[in-house]
Amino acid sequence: EAQVTQNPRYLITVTGKKLTVTCSQNMNHEYMSWYRQDPGLGLRQIYYSMNVEVTDKGDVPEGYKVSRKEKRNFPLILESPSPNQTSLYFCASSPRDGSVNTEAFFGQGTRLTVV
Amino acid sequence: AQKVTQAQTEISVVEKEDVTLDCVYETRDTTYYLFWYKQPPSGELVFLIRRNSFDEQNEISGRYSWNFQKSTSSFNFTITASQVVDSAVYFCALSEAGFQKLVFGTGTRLLVSP
């Protein structure tokens, strides 16, 4: 089954304690992205990756890091989480060829609370 | 810059009513893609439809239909004979050619009561 898997689904942490949210896809997609969802703001892109070792900032990258060492994995790293990073996070993947009739596949979401 | 506007923050209807969710977009690209996603209370994002900029044909899928009009930069979504299970937040999104980024609207919360 084609899917994007995020872990954990729920996380409560304290300010300043480093954490990683993992994301893995089994569709051999080139593109992967991280989004955060906040009330009244919709989803905003944090970082994206066009392929292995190729990453770039999205609209709200401050406070986040990513890496793409393998095609299937795209972890999101919060080196020093702060309460304003409390949010619902989604990982997404899509194939490079946007001309085919396809979609962006989203993970189940990770609800992060930073206290 | 790309932008998606969903002016309706929340809509409440009674079951079996028809409801239309509005989506207006802005882009300078000539090739782009429009999407609708459903987010039920469980939180996941469910893909509903993708429409390419060069295909203005409207689409119907069961009780769902979509009206794409490039002249007004709109991609509206209509649910016919709404059901309680349609209660969710609905997002409209726009992607440029290349698929690097989806730009989302702020979402419309639809509440269908029995």
Is residue B108 predicted with pLDDT exceeding 90?
yes
Sign of CA pseudo-dihedral B76, B32, B48, A50: negative
**pLDDT (tens digit, 9 = 90+) per residue, A58-95?**
999 999 999 999 999 999 999 999 999 999 999 999 88
pLDDT of residue B96: 81
3-class SS letters over B10-34: EEEEECCCCEEECCEEECCCCCEEE
pLDDT of residue B101: 82
> Least CB-CB distance to B101: which of A41, A45, A90?
A45
For residues A45-53, average pLDDT: 93
Strands (E), chain A: 4-7, 10-13, 19-25, 31-38, 42-51, 54-57, 65-66, 76-78, 87-94, 105-106, 110-114
Instruction: Give the nearest chain A residue to B90 (CA atoms).
Output: A42
**Do residue A104 and residue B95 have CB atoms under 8 angstroms apart?**
yes
> Least CB-CB distance to B97: which of A98, A105, A106?
A98
Cα–Cα distance for residue pair B25/B105, rounded to 1 Å: 9
**Do residue A35 and residue B98 have CB atoms under 8 angstroms apart?**
no
Instruction: Give the nearest chain A residue to B45 (CA atoms).
Output: A106
Contacts of A41 (CB under 8 A, 6+ apart): B106
Cα–Cα distance for residue pair A93/A29, rounded to 1 Å: 6
**pLDDT (tens digit, 9 = 90+) per residue, B28-37?**
988 899 999 9
Contacts with B44 from chain A: Cβ below 8 Å: 106, 108-109
Is residue A99 predicted with pLDDT exceeding 80?
no
pLDDT of residue A2: 83
**Do residue A42 and residue B91 have CB atoms under 8 angstroms apart?**
yes
**pLDDT (tens digit, 9 = 90+) per residue, B43-102?**
999 999 988 888 888 888 899 999 999 999 999 999 999 999 999 999 999 988 666 788
Distance from the A40 Cα atom to the nearest Cα atom in chain B, whole angstroms: 6
Mutant choice from B24, B92, B95, B100 vs A, greatest count of A C-beta within 10 A: B100
**Do residue B47 and residue A50 have CB atoms under 8 angstroms apart?**
no
Virtual CA dihedral for A59, A61, A65, A69, nearest 10 degrees? 20
Is residue A103 predicted with pLDDT exceeding 80?
no
